[in-house]
Structure 1
Amino acid sequence: MNPNIAALLNLVVMDAIFLCIVLAVFGLVAGTKRAAFAVMKRNFVGYFSNPTGYVFLCIFVFLTSVAAFWPYEFFNQNLATLDQLNYWYPLIMLVFIPAITMSIWAEERRAGTDELLLTLPADDFDIVIGKYMAAAAIFTASLLFSQLSTFVTLTILTDGGLDTGLIFTTYIGYWFVGVTMIAIGMVASFLTGNLTVGFILGALFNAPLAFASLADSVVGSGEAVFGINFAELIKESGIARPFDDFGRGVISTSSTIYFVLVTVVALYMCMVLIGRRHWTGGKDGNTMAYHYLGRIIALVVVTASAVVLFRNRDIVRHDMTEGQVSSLAPATTKLIQNLESDRPIKIDAYISKDIPEMYARTRYELVNLLKEFQSEAAASGRTIEVNLFDEIDLFSDEAAEAADRFGIEPVTRMVREQGSYQQKRIIMGAAFRAGLEKVVVPIFEYGIPVEYELVRSINTVARGERKRVGIVRTDAQLMGGMSMAGMQMRPIEKHPLVDELSKQYEVEEVSLEAPIGPGVYDALFVVQPSSLAPPQFERLLEAIKAGVPTAVFEDPLPFARQDITATGEPKQQPGGMFGMGGGGQQPKGDIRELWDILELKSTGSPGVQYYNSDIVWQDFNPYPNLDMNVDPFWSFIDENAPGVEPGQALSAASPITDGLRQVLALYAGTVQPADGATLTHTPLLATGTASGTLPVTKLVQLMQTGMEGLSGAIEGPSPNQVLAMTVEGKQTAADPSAEAEGGSGGDENPIRVAYVADIDLMLPVFLQIRADPNQATDLRFQFQNVTFLLNTIDWLTGETDFIDVRKHEPIFASLKMIDAVKETASMDVRAKRKEFQRQSEEAIREAEEARDEQLKELREEVTELQKKSKDGSIPRPLIDAKSIEYQTKSERLQRALAVKREKFEREAERNIAKIQRESDQQVTAIQNKVKAYAVALPCIPPLIVGVVVFASRRLRERENISKSRLK
């Protein structure tokens, strides 16, 4: 089925269910209150039998379409949401709702039909509820027109990928806002007999609820007075807070009850106003007025209490979005419910205005999740106070507070917007506090899972005490240091992975100068353990045998870190002062001793002293734009690799890799269980069938002489090479005396190790790609190396809940049509850029050939003279003169060539800029066309219906009029 039709049917079914519920309520009233039904029918038919009603309907659809699609932020955000309409909707309602309610009772008084209504065999409730149901029905019909037009526009923009659940719940929220404001507007209509005054009063009475969210700018957001924060109290009483749930795709008990109770209070006030004719003017008129005023105040107090009660204890809270963008992962909910501390947790989040498109989705998710964290915490009896400072200016007091208190400062990012690259400064950070504990996330990078950052920070401050991870000091020097490789001293920066781990753990450097027993560290992290000196290496082995969970990364050929000694290479003695002197070999660990403990082996052969593991190759490249076909030693561990079974490349049997999509290893080794192994070995990363191994010695020779002979060096495929695995179980330490007595032979110690035969998969560039995926826009890398590393440490420390949180990826509905236009334009720009560069290079090459051709004859003449000068037949001055002539002409032609090269390059840049400008204009033209159609077309259906109604009405009026009177 066409996705557009499927989305439409899905929405129609949801609307039908909702309308059935509404009609059931109306039917119940109509069945028990016939007078109310008669009043409703009279008002509803009267509204839509008049062309004026269709004019108002057309205006309503026009305004909602303009608010939804005309702002630039809609396309900048690139999400199929109604955020812009949500912002302007209260203002639209302040115009449209009074237009409906102003005539509900004021028109009856003006026409003198109010006395007729009051003399009907009906009570006050019948009249009020009938009027209300008529207005609600009029508004519902108008809302359906708006929903249909909005849905069609978004469906086209998303190519059928629209989140119908989000659109449905958002319009349910619009409906609740509208019917609540109708009840309030009716109060204004019952107070006056003038339509204009009724309209103005209707807008004024609804304005406080509509603008309550702006209380901070009026009352101020200072400290509480007498324990009451009046700004917060006013904001809580407005419609923005309860509507926010619906606008984010969540149906909640608290929001529904708010609108229902406010509507009931307003309708009761209408009944008091219509019923005051019974007691005003009498001797007890004032007493009855105070009596009903007391009733209203009591009802308001009960309503406010009920709203507060249900807001803190949502009975039902259901995320209707198809991508689950407004709900927490089950693991996150579990972590919040099981927080180890009862201390209140405070979250101060700061988000600036004008967020770039690449960060728009992160901002949307951050705001959604912060609100869900607060709701989930309230439901589980925890206290998470969220102070969200959204849409702040870079130089506002809030921005200054963020910088002074938490160190959250504006960061500068290079972004492309509105056809040009520009530097933008943004604020999007948060501080988490609980007691004396504090964690600050200075910037939520758009490539990092927001939910993971939030739940990790909350759990860290709530727990107070973090688990400890020891980084073993090896040649890799993850904590930073100095390197003497190449007889030259150079500094090594601290690895960014250490900062990432520090957000969750207490990270310390371990020198292994003393033994490490269980309980000292929750996990050890050791990179290239074979580079350790024998005493330190032996202590590492003892720690592993003692049961200390350890992540081991051992690389037979460190590709990007050539200062690290490879597994099979001898370790060179550091040089002397300033890299001078020294030399010779230094003893180091033998990795085979570790393999014996873990019951592992690797394909390869012994070197002179150490074991040389083979290097894994794989003929698979998932990125056509990445020119890497000549280097098969970049192993893309991917489920789409040839010959890979589901859950094999990235093992579904381990929580470390279950759910991952792709990991990249560079010049990695291979590992497999030893024969007769008793420990449990679970493969983590494996290649496909088009893979194999190559001895490291052959590879090094090829790298030195050139890779042309690579195909001949590879003997043949050896499929499904394993690059990493976990090792678990209990190893029995031999005890000869126990064996002699027939015992088991020793104490059993737990082994818990993750072994990875590559260290290049943790290069800093992978953390950069994770934080900024758009730095390689043409390639769109999907590497999850950082997630693999974090999952490994969490598995070792037992923090598996965070692994599940990282797997939760909400699905956002984006504007695929605009994305397709941008992608097509971008591909066109790339193709033409390559063509212009090719033409420029060709022109430069031809100019160089022309220069060489011009110099050829003169150069040959100089060469011939130099040959003849050996026998003395050619005078030296003549040779020098020719040489100077050649040099002068060569320099002149070289300058001319430089001028031509600069001209060609400038011309290419100008052409590329022109193509880029035309591409941006094309995208802007499509956006403007969408705006025009989205605003103009929805107005046509109600206008056509209005014209038909007007024409039919005129025809009916002329039916009984004689032709002579029509002249």
Structure 2
Amino acid sequence: MSSIVTALGTLLIRDAIFLCILAAVFGLIAGTKRAAFAVMKRNFVGYFSNPTGYVFLCIFVFLTSVAAFWPYEFFNQNLATLDQLNYWYPLIMLVFIPAITMSIWAEEKRAGTDELLLTLPADDFDIVIGKYMAAAAIFTASLLFSQLSTFVTLAILTEGALDVGLIFTTYLGYWFVGVTMIAIGMVASFLTGNLTVGFILGALFNAPLAFASLADSIVGTRQVFGLDLAELVKNSGIARPFDDFGRGVISISSMAYFILVTVVALYICMVLIGRRHWTGGKDGNTMAYHYLARIIALIVITASAVVLFRNRDVARLDMTEGDVSSLAPATTELIENLESDRPIKIDAFISNDIPEMYARTRYELVTLLKEFQSEAAANGRTIEVNLHENIDLFSEEAAMAAERFGIEPVTRMVREQGSYQQKRLILGAAFRAGLEKVVVPIFEYGIPVEYELVRSINTVARGTRKRIGIVRTDAQLMGGVSTQGMQMRRIEKHPLMDELSKQYEVEQVDLEAPITPGVYDALVAVQPSSLAPPQFERLIEAVKAGVPTAVFEDPLPFARPDITATGAPKQQSGGMFGMGGGQQPKGDIRELWDVLELKSPGKPTAQYFNGDIVWQNFNPYPNLDMNVDPFWIFIDENAPGVESGQALSSESSITSGLRQVLALYSGAIQVNDNPTLQHTPLLQTGRDSGLLAFDTVSAVMQQGPGALAGAIEDFSPNQTLAMTIEGKTAPKSDDKDGDADGEKDNAEKPVDTTADPIRVAYIADTDLMLPVFLQLRADPNTAAELRFQFQNVTFLLNTIDWLTGETDFIEVRKHEPVFASLKLIDSVKESASRDVRGKRKEFDRQSKEAIREAEEERDRELQDLREELTELQKKSKDGRIPRAVIDAKTIEFQTKQERLQRALDVRRARVERESERNIAKIQRESDQRVTAIQNQVKAYAVALPCIPPLIVGVMVFASRRLRERENISKERLK
């Protein structure tokens, strides 16, 4: 409740500031134009002293509430925005605004009071601005009432966590739309003396601005003087400037549009009211052409000014509390540094029926594309955005997306309206600049949209990409064939390579020849110890030469047994039927450690080195099995004994801002004594962690997590799993003077400056880059019940970007907009899902119990017959029982067994059907609970706001009738 009160206070303060500014403007006019203030007061009081005004207010609030909360898309999107009201608002204004403006001058003409107004000691401006201020004040009061009712509904739905800034700016946009349409409606009222005609003309005059956004379907693709006519029409309407306000952005260009259009409309009103001075004169026609030329010139000036402001939108303020409609500073900097001579074209395609899980992605994609275009225009860059929204899957636009860019409908399994269904959607974009092209066929809802956009824009803008060399090892990230495990097996290309290919040129490196510095901007070596000694030596030489390298070396590749462990001998491929052909020489990782000044706890073998395995007693997921493997290392700031910024180092841009990384059966690394390189730990465990010998882990891991947990003895906290290494190394000492450690010789020899500094990221685990982490990133609903927060993919991408110097993308990934969701509906859905899961487990338990009892009953019925048959078989050995008797008994046993088995199968099928029926029933009941809450919210949101204005209207009507009856005699009342 306190959060709702706080949000309401914030909104009221912003409203009060706006009203104070508005009152100051009105006060300034009233102080200098007393006649205008008198006209405003007369019209304003007259409107609200009449019950009709409250009826219109009630209708306005009713229509806005219906448009905001009644459409199914509101709950499907599950965001506390007013997108549905934004869509219908122009149509509502076409009804409400003419209702206000139709009587502004037409009623004066009908009642004959126009002559009285024109004889006041006031000029035409006083009358026009006075009536305009009255209509604007009436509309402002109505809008504030609608805002309050909408706020209450959203505050309840979000449990007070709504975006106050978005609500305020959206209603500020509504206000600008309304006051602009009022000025246009006044023109219609000045043309006629009939209220009905004034209403119709007011709607007709405002209709072009309201329906300009539909120009594509009306005008088509016609060209006028090389310009797209449909685009010109759309840009002239209110949808384009209002869009900024609807997304929570206050921009100079949008306010300039509404103010300039309002000024033009008010000037036309002054011309119409002042035409009495010259229409009857001998120069009447000349003056008419003169004022017409003035109006046309003013319209041209206004259009030019609007275009100028849009192309140079110097000030834009994102008022959203979650930075939903603003770009990250790194993104803005990238746009500022784009090459101005390479215009970028973005074609985005979004289908009309987007599932709930993709609704937020769609919202963010549309918002960011518009912000990219505005930001580029403000910095003199050209980013042309062609946004194809709400397209049909079989439309010409969908066909163009498939033919030109390869963006085709994708199918996803979603749950909507109480059932699982296959749904096809289009949500992709193509980026072009010159001959460069990058296509994102689908924006997965788990991947940051801004990062995808920035990466694609920057890739096509530069024209060239940096090169990443993927060292060919046992991991075979680029795909291949594995002969480990006594059989040949196809290894698919790692999905991380596709992710990197969106930003870099990714090539496989066989290390058959030395790596020349500068050829590759970075190398990625996964399990380099599996390389043959010559290739391993070339990798070390490349590292020493300053080639940035990411090293993933795992003492126990848990999920990839085909990868040779650090201390294990490598079996030679080949042999008959894929059989191994003996041991094959491979690299000794200690040689690389010497270069990087690293060491690892463990035990050397005859040839290699077995590193110890890290364990940790920490599980941040209560829904996960309580016997979770202790060798699943959750690197998390909330782990016991972890200081702030330690688990995921805040000192490195790679891990700063990350929340959680999961490693599996990882090794540990340490820094040598007296290092000359700079070592920065990236991933560290907490207090309740330690090491276990490789041999021990290998011996007992087949017995399950319980056995491994029992083997743990000593604690060794804060183990380091990954670190970066930078700097130049001092040459090795020959220790010719007999020093024990050679420290004196090292101190006397200078650092080698002939090569570039070493730049390496060393990670003692390969399992943290498993494809499943990319799947979880793209589709978090894969494990919706557990709500995993793994950021393994972000960690990997940050590591590669750090090596290549693309650190701007690291900052972009950290920018996470916060959306206000419908927490009340979410809690109902979660409660229903929890009940379904609980009852599903109970039904499963009951089903298994029933089947187990049926199996036991079957076994009991067969037991006597089985014992009798066994006894007969024993006696048959002595020849006392004829073979025919045994055969008959065997047939009897088999017949009964088959009969009981059929009965068991029937019972099992019946139990399973009953379980499925019960599960479907509770699922249906949970869906009905959610639907009932949604319908209840709709009813209250629409009905309750209409009650207060109706009550006030009845009170005004009763008060007015009482005043009318005060001076009437009792005889006449009878």
Q: Could you tell me how far 1:871 is from its partner in structure 2?
A: 2.3
Q: Could you tell me how far 1:628 is from its partner in structure 2?
A: 5.4
Residues 461-485 of structure 1 show CA distances to partners (whole Å, capped at 9, x for unaligned) of: 0000101100000010000000101
Q: Distance in 1 between matches of 2:243 and 2:552?
A: 48
**8 Å contact 2:659–2:789 — kept in the other structure?**
yes
Q: Distance in 1 between matches of 2:498 and 2:705?
A: 38
The answer to whether 1:30 aligns with 2:33 is no
**8 Å contact 2:615–2:691 — kept in the other structure?**
yes
Aligned AA (1:696): F
**Which residue is equivalent to 2:404?**
405
Secondary structure of the corresponding residue to residue 408 of structure 2? coil
Aligned AA (2:256): I
Secondary structure of the corresponding residue to residue 657 of structure 2? coil
**Which residue is equivalent to 1:693?**
691
Secondary structure of the corresponding residue to residue 925 of structure 1? helix
**Which residue is equivalent to 2:365?**
366
**Which residue is equivalent to 1:540?**
539
From 866, 871, 875, the equivalent of 2:873 is 866
Q: Could you tell me how far 1:732 is from its partner in structure 2?
A: 2.3
Q: 1:747 to 1:53 in 2, by over 3 A?
A: closer
Secondary structure of the corresponding residue to residue 951 of structure 2? helix
**Which residue is equivalent to 2:838?**
831
Q: Distance in 1 between matches of 2:353 and 2:599?
A: 56
Q: 1:244 to 1:797 in 2, by over 3 A?
A: same
Q: Distance in 1 between matches of 2:746 and 2:857?
A: 92
Q: Distance in 1 between matches of 2:333 and 2:824?
A: 38
Q: Distance in 1 between matches of 2:696 and 2:233?
A: 75
Q: Distance in 2 between matches of 1:538 and 1:635?
A: 32
**Which residue is equivalent to 1:612?**
610
**Which residue is equivalent to 2:914?**
907
Q: Could you tell me how far 1:963 is from its partner in structure 2?
A: 1.2
Q: Distance in 1 between matches of 2:747 and 2:211?
A: 86
Q: Distance in 1 between matches of 2:833 and 2:702?
A: 39
**Which residue is equivalent to 1:453?**
452
Secondary structure of the corresponding residue to residue 507 of structure 1? strand
Q: Distance in 2 between matches of 1:42 and 1:397?
A: 56
**8 Å contact 2:728–2:752 — kept in the other structure?**
no
Q: 1:505 to 1:341 in 2, by over 3 A?
A: farther
**8 Å contact 1:341–1:463 — kept in the other structure?**
no
The answer to whether 1:438 aligns with 2:445 is no
Aligned AA (2:105): W
Q: Could you tell me how far 1:872 is from its partner in structure 2?
A: 2.3
From 810, 832, 849, the equivalent of 1:842 is 849
Q: 1:28 to 1:669 in 2, by over 3 A?
A: same
Residues 39-97 of structure 1 show CA distances to partners (whole Å, capped at 9, x for unaligned) of: 00000000000000000000000000000000000000000000000000000000000
Aligned AA (1:51): P
List aligned pairs for 1:584-623, cutoff 5 A.
Answer: 584-623=582-621
**8 Å contact 2:555–2:666 — kept in the other structure?**
yes
List aligned pairs for 1:308-347, cutoff 5 A.
Answer: 308-340=307-339, 342-347=341-346
Q: Distance in 1 between matches of 2:642 and 2:901?
A: 57
The answer to whether 1:48 aligns with 2:54 is no
The answer to whether 1:255 aligns with 2:254 is yes
The answer to whether 1:174 aligns with 2:174 is yes
Runs (5+) with no aligned partner, structure 2 = 737-743
Q: 1:450 to 1:741 in 2, by over 3 A?
A: closer
**Which residue is equivalent to 2:886?**
879
From 807, 810, 822, the equivalent of 2:817 is 810
Q: Distance in 2 between matches of 1:333 and 1:958?
A: 69
**Which residue is equivalent to 2:750?**
744
**Which residue is equivalent to 2:378?**
379
**Which residue is equivalent to 2:701?**
703
Q: Distance in 2 between matches of 1:740 and 1:194?
A: 101
Q: Distance in 2 between matches of 1:45 and 1:714?
A: 83
Q: Distance in 1 between matches of 2:751 and 2:963?
A: 107
**Which residue is equivalent to 1:121?**
121
Aligned AA (1:958): R
**8 Å contact 1:735–1:745 — kept in the other structure?**
no
List aligned pairs for 1:194-205, cutoff 5 A.
Answer: 194-205=194-205
**Which residue is equivalent to 1:68?**
68
Q: Could you tell me how far 1:712 is from its partner in structure 2?
A: 3.7
Higher mean C-alpha deviation, range 939-948 or range 956-965:
956-965
**Which residue is equivalent to 2:766?**
759
Runs (5+) with no aligned partner, structure 1 = none
Q: Distance in 1 between matches of 2:747 and 2:505?
A: 46
Indicate the RMSD between aligned Cα atoms, in angstroms: 1.4
**Which residue is equivalent to 2:189?**
189
**Percent of matched pairs sharing the same residue:** 82
**Which residue is equivalent to 2:229?**
230
**Which residue is equivalent to 2:669?**
671
Q: Distance in 2 between matches of 1:458 and 1:221?
A: 27
Aligned AA (1:293): L
**Which residue is equivalent to 1:571?**
570
Q: Distance in 2 between matches of 1:742 and 1:281?
A: 107
**Which residue is equivalent to 1:93?**
93
The answer to whether 1:351 aligns with 2:350 is yes
**8 Å contact 1:257–1:307 — kept in the other structure?**
yes
Q: Distance in 1 between matches of 2:385 and 2:564?
A: 50
Q: Number of aligned pairs?
A: 965
List aligned pairs for 1:443-482, cutoff 5 A.
Answer: 443-482=442-481
The two structures have a TM-score, normalised by structure 1, of: 0.98
Residues 359-381 of structure 1 show CA distances to partners (whole Å, capped at 9, x for unaligned) of: 00000000000000000001111
List aligned pairs for 1:511-530, cutoff 5 A.
Answer: 511-530=510-529
**8 Å contact 1:518–1:547 — kept in the other structure?**
yes
Secondary structure of the corresponding residue to residue 39 of structure 1? helix
Q: Distance in 2 between matches of 1:429 and 1:72?
A: 24
Q: Could you tell me how far 1:876 is from its partner in structure 2?
A: 2.2
Q: Distance in 1 between matches of 2:592 and 2:177?
A: 68
The answer to whether 1:783 aligns with 2:783 is no
Q: 1:741 to 1:168 in 2, by over 3 A?
A: closer
The answer to whether 1:18 aligns with 2:25 is no
Aligned AA (1:468): R
Aligned AA (2:25): V
**8 Å contact 1:487–1:575 — kept in the other structure?**
no
The answer to whether 1:723 aligns with 2:729 is no
**8 Å contact 2:343–2:381 — kept in the other structure?**
yes
Q: Could you tell me how far 1:748 is from its partner in structure 2?
A: 5.4
**8 Å contact 2:730–2:746 — kept in the other structure?**
no
Q: Distance in 1 between matches of 2:108 and 2:500?
A: 71
Q: Could you tell me how far 1:340 is from its partner in structure 2?
A: 4.1
Q: Could you tell me how far 1:707 is from its partner in structure 2?
A: 5.0
Aligned AA (1:725): M
Residues 415-453 of structure 1 show CA distances to partners (whole Å, capped at 9, x for unaligned) of: 000000111110010000000000000000000000000
**8 Å contact 2:467–2:505 — kept in the other structure?**
yes
List aligned pairs for 1:211-222, cutoff 5 A.
Answer: 211-222=211-222
**8 Å contact 1:356–1:415 — kept in the other structure?**
yes
Q: Distance in 2 between matches of 1:706 and 1:524?
A: 36
**8 Å contact 1:621–1:629 — kept in the other structure?**
no
Q: Could you tell me how far 1:621 is from its partner in structure 2?
A: 1.1
Q: 1:380 to 1:701 in 2, by over 3 A?
A: same
Aligned AA (2:596): L
Aligned AA (2:353): D
Q: Could you tell me how far 1:687 is from its partner in structure 2?
A: 1.0
List aligned pairs for 1:488-503, cutoff 5 A.
Answer: 488-503=487-502
Aligned AA (1:234): V
Q: Distance in 2 between matches of 1:319 and 1:745?
A: 51
Residues 819-864 of structure 1 show CA distances to partners (whole Å, capped at 9, x for unaligned) of: 0000000000000000000000000011111111111111111122
**8 Å contact 1:733–1:747 — kept in the other structure?**
no
**Which residue is equivalent to 2:896?**
889
